[in-house]
């Protein structure tokens, strides 16, 4: 049975999906047993024409894309059966190695990486996004836990579909950025998941590991090529890599910007303990 890798995208990030996400995936990942799916939230006809190797599934944009994607991914999975399902962000991720290890190991569990440094955004995103009853349950489960970054999540088909449906139901306000992280963290910590190395969802700003960039490629200090790089951040200000993408001309670190934000995250994470 095939595996699936699913993302979502609109016209704003469509070129990044084509030139970076898809290009890097096709260059590095064995696709012989893999379907690549994008949930379409307004891609242009020209962009769609360049996604010939992908399955295009039309989503309904009646809320924030990061939130309504859970409903639409679940609808797609209701009609399409897979072994393992990986969900990733689309506009700010590149693949630099194969994904066989992720698809083949711990196949009965969710697999996800945690951020080393982060700010606890629950106070910002909880109010108005969940019922009071669910807020109590969520806080009880998540207190003292590291944050799973939902930019890369992989799991067995039935569990993944169930997670998508529950995450969507939990969110009572589907118009804002952020609360999906809380919903996913709650479900994974409540039900259990396999913690994977954050090289499979490497966020330069919040990882303790030192890295370098040579000819547009991200490496750890020991020379290991980083499998999945995620230039995460809701706003451009929080993204430390400029010209992020796949290829020799991409990926320059905004050093001063990076150091200031990294120290801010490090201190905030320390104070949270």
Q: What is the CATH number of the domain that holds 186?
A: 3.90.550.10
Handedness of CA 169, 171, 173, 178 (dihedral sign): negative
Last residue of a domain, one of 185, 200, 215: 200
CB 181 within 8 A of CB 125: yes
162, 262: one domain: no
**Residues 21 and 127 reside in one and the same domain:** yes
Residues 6+ away with beta carbon under 8 Å from 197: 113
Which of 200, 232, 251 terminates a domain? The answer is 200
Question: What is residue 273's predicted lDDT score, i.e. its pLDDT?
Answer: 57
Predicted local distance difference test score (pLDDT) of residue 235: 75
Domain shared by 106 and 215, yes or no: no
Same domain for 212 and 165?
no
Final residue belonging to a domain, choices 179, 200, 221? 200
Residues 191 and 226 in one domain: no
Q: What is the pLDDT of residue 159?
A: 98
Do 85 and 164 belong together in one domain?
yes
- Tally of residues, the chain: 273
Are 142 and 28 found together in one domain? yes
Counted domains in the chain: 2
pLDDT attached to residue 264: 75
Sort strands 194-195 and 111-114 into parallel, antiparallel or unpaired: parallel
Q: Could you tell me if 120 and 230 lie in one domain?
A: no
Q: 3-state DSSP: the chain helix, strand, coil percent, rounded to 5?
A: 40, 20, 40
Rounded CA gap, 68 and 76, in Å?
A: 13
* Same domain, yes or no: 110 and 227: no
Q: What whole-number distance in Å separates Cα of residue 10 and Cα of residue 90?
A: 10
Give, in order, the Cα–Cα distances in Å from 27 to each of 68, 145, 222, 246, 250: 30, 36, 23, 10, 16
Q: Which residues of the chain have pLDDT under 50?
A: none
Is the domain of 36 the same as that of 112? yes
The pLDDT, as a whole number, for residue 38 is: 98
Name residues whose C-beta falls within 8 Å of residue 177's C-beta, 6 or more positions apart in sequence.
64, 66, 234
Residues 116 and 184 grouped into a single domain? yes
* Element holding 253 (H helix, E strand): strand 252-253
* 92 and 216 assigned to the same domain: no
**Which range of residues forms the domain containing residue 76?**
3-200
């Amino acid at each position: 049975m095939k595996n699936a890798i699913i993302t979502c995208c609109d016209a704003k990030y469509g070129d990044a999906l084509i030139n970076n996400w898809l290009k890097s995936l096709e260059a590095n990942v064995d696709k012989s047993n893999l379907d690549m799916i994008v949930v379409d939230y307004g891609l242009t006809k020209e962009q769609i024409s360049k996604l010939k190797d992908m399955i295009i599934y039309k989503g309904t944009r009646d809320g924030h894309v990061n939130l309504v994607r859970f409903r639409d991914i679940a609808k797609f999975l209701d009609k399409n059966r897979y072994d393992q399902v990986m969900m990733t962000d689309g506009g700010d991720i590149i693949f630099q190695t194969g994904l066989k290890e992720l698809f083949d190991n711990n196949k009965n569990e969710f697999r996800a990486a945690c951020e080393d440094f982060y700010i606890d955004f629950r106070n910002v995103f909880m109010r108005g996004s969940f019922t009071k009853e669910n807020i109590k349950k969520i806080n009880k489960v998540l207190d003292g836990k590291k944050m799973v970054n939902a930019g890369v999540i992989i799991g067995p088909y039935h569990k993944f579909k169930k997670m998508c449906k529950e995450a969507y139901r939990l969110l009572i306000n589907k118009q804002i950025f952020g609360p999906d992280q809380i919903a996913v963290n709650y479900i994974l910590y409540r039900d259990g998941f396999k913690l994977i190395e954050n090289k499979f969802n490497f966020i330069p700003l919040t990882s303790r590991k030192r890295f370098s960039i040579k000819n547009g490629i991200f490496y750890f200090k020991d020379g290991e090529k980083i499998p999945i790089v995620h230039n995460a951040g809701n706003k451009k200000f929080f993204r430390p890599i400029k010209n992020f993408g796949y290829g020799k001309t991409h990926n320059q670190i905004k050093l001063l910007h990076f150091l200031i934000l990294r120290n801010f995250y490090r201190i905030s994470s320390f104070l949270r303990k």
